[in-house]
Amino acid sequence: MYQNKFTNNFGGRNRRPGYGQSRFGGRNNGRRNRSFESRIDVSMFIKKAEPFVKIEDIPVKNNFSDFDFSPVLIDNIKNKGYLKPTPIQDEIIPYILEGRDVLGIANTGTGKTAAFALPLINEILLNPNKRILIMAPTRELAQQIRQDIRSFTFGMRIYVALAIGGAYIREQIMDIKRDPHIIVGTPGRIKDLAGRRIINFSKINTVVLDEVDRMLDMGFVADIKEIMEQIPSPRQILFFSATVDKKIEHLIDSFLVNPAKISVKTQESSKNVEQNVVRVRREDKEKVLIDLLKKEEFKKVLVFGGTKMVVEKLSKSLYQQGFKVGSLHGDKAQHQRQTTLKAFKQNIINILIATDVAARGLDVADITHVINYDKPNNYDDYVHRIGRTGRANKTGFALTFVEVKSSLSR
């Protein structure tokens, strides 16, 4: 009985999208959720993946040797296995080397970090007094950028410091007092360290804002403005964003001078995702999840829970049943979050249970499936969640659990 019901509902083809569930997520948790659920049609979460243009299929004009990089930088690029620039690197690097302000519009997975890191590293080699500030919306993305930069600076005397919340501020203060060439961090912690007179904005001559659209979504606009107003001119500003709306246009007009505007977008990552729903009784949710995770095609899975308590309870239960699983949420210390993410990236664990802290800035290229064990708060959060799969020109799969009434409650 259970297996037949699950099989029929998994594909969602034999029933109209809203059958048996007129709302988005089962139980009503307060007036706000009832209102939200009544506005959302389940059919919005049943979509086929769209064909996409591969980045490799877009022609490029240059080789890395054409950029007149330092020989040691060229060697490090080759050692990383980079054979030729990606389209955004091909288009943007010459403008950065010229000292131009840049607006880069591109998806994650197109090589954005190297697009700004490589020319800036080369500039530091030519001018050791150059000081760069890089801001990102999340701790995880900031750490990833720092790691990528360090991988290109092997054998060079270039120092990169980190300034993110949730980590020991004393260590960050000691690092930044060493006068690093590059500081990578989140706006809140950068502003905090500047207020303590640890970061001296008067020394900064280049600013990079990565994923500007997400920073604005997360409420960093006031911090960004306050920081940018303290960066002296002349300066070079590099903005990177997946989208450009009126708020971003306002920042561009405020801070960028005659920017070179480069757009290399294939499509939104969520369009690379095959989306479906799984209708399930609340008491069966964990059992259905386990049945899914046992399937061979569920190789690397990100599961979103609605609360920290749900995430911890579910991860412990799966661990006790022999799954290679970790958990991620806001109550975890930064070193715990780093350890868990590293284990997930290196396939030490293949299942990550997380709150929405993992919905933005988590860049793991080979996540095969995203499962919304609990409903997101809104459709925008849903799009960010499922955007963790279907990255780097791969097709991903997303399933959303939609609760149906239990026969016992009728």
The better pLDDT of the pair 345, 31 is held by 345
Residue 104 has pLDDT above 50, yes or no: yes
Q: Where in the chain is the domain with CATH 3.40.50.300?
A: 2-52+269-409, 55-264
The span from the CA of 80 to the CA of 88, in Å, is: 18
For the entire predicted model, the pTM comes to: 0.70
Q: Which pLDDT does position 270 carry in this prediction?
A: 64
As a whole number, the mean pLDDT across the chain is 84
Q: What is the mean pLDDT of residues 56-63?
A: 75
Nearest to 298 by CA among 351, 220, 242, 341: 351
Percent of the chain exceeding pLDDT 90 equals: 56
Q: Is the CATH number 3.40.50.300 carried by domain 55-264?
A: yes
Q: What is the pLDDT of residues 300-327, one digit of tens each?
A: 999 999 999 999 999 999 999 999 999 9
Calculate mean pLDDT across residues 193-199: 96
- For residues 173-197, one letter each, b for 16 or more C-beta atoms within 10 angstroms of the residue's C-beta and e for the rest, the string is eebbeeebbbbbbbbebbbbbbeee
| 240, 211 contact by CB (below 8 A) | yes
Give residue 8's pLDDT band: very low, low, confident or very high (50, 70, 90): very low
What average pLDDT score do residues 121-128 get? 96
**pLDDT by residue (tens digit) across 158-176?**
999 999 988 889 999 999 9
CA–CA gap between residue 301 and residue 298 (Å, rounded): 6
What local confidence, expressed as pLDDT, does residue 276 receive?
92
When pLDDT is cut at 50, 70 and 90, the band that residue 379 belongs to is: confident
Distances (CA, A) of 18 to 23, 25, 90, 176, 328: 8, 11, 46, 55, 32
51: confidence class by pLDDT, cuts 50, 70, 90: low
| Tens-digit pLDDT profile for residues 390-399 | 876 678 999 9
Cα–Cα distance for residue pair 340/334, rounded to 1 Å = 10
Structure confidence at residue 48 as a pLDDT band (50, 70, 90):
low
Higher pLDDT among residues 371 and 216, named by residue: 371
> For residue 53, what pLDDT is reported?
47
In our burial notation (b when 16+ CB lie closer than 10 A, e otherwise), range 19-43 reads: eebebbbbeeeeeebeebbeebebe
pLDDT band at residue 44 under the 50/70/90 scheme = low
Q: Provide the pLDDT for residue 1.
A: 32
pLDDT at 233 over 70: yes
- Higher pLDDT: 120 or 17? It is 120
Q: What is the pLDDT of residue 15?
A: 35
pLDDT at 114 over 50: yes
Query: How would residue 250 be classed by pLDDT, with cut points 50, 70 and 90?
Result: confident
Residue 69: pLDDT band with limits 50, 70, 90: very high
Average pLDDT on 17-40 reads 38
Residue 198 has pLDDT above 70, yes or no: yes
pLDDT level of residue 49 (50, 70, 90 thresholds): low
2-52+269-409 CATH fold: Rossmann fold (3.40.50)
Tell me: the pLDDT tens digits for 287-303? Answer: 999 999 999 999 999 99
pLDDT value at 388 more than 60: yes
| DSSP at 49 | P
Structure-token pair, residue 45: 């979460």
- Closest to 347 measured CA to CA, from 410, 310, 300, 407: 300
Amino acid at 140: E
Average pLDDT rounded to a whole number, residues 188-193: 96
The closest alpha carbon to 138, from 356, 389, 336, belongs to: 356
**Over the stretch 234-245, which tens digit does the pLDDT of each residue have?**
999 999 987 788
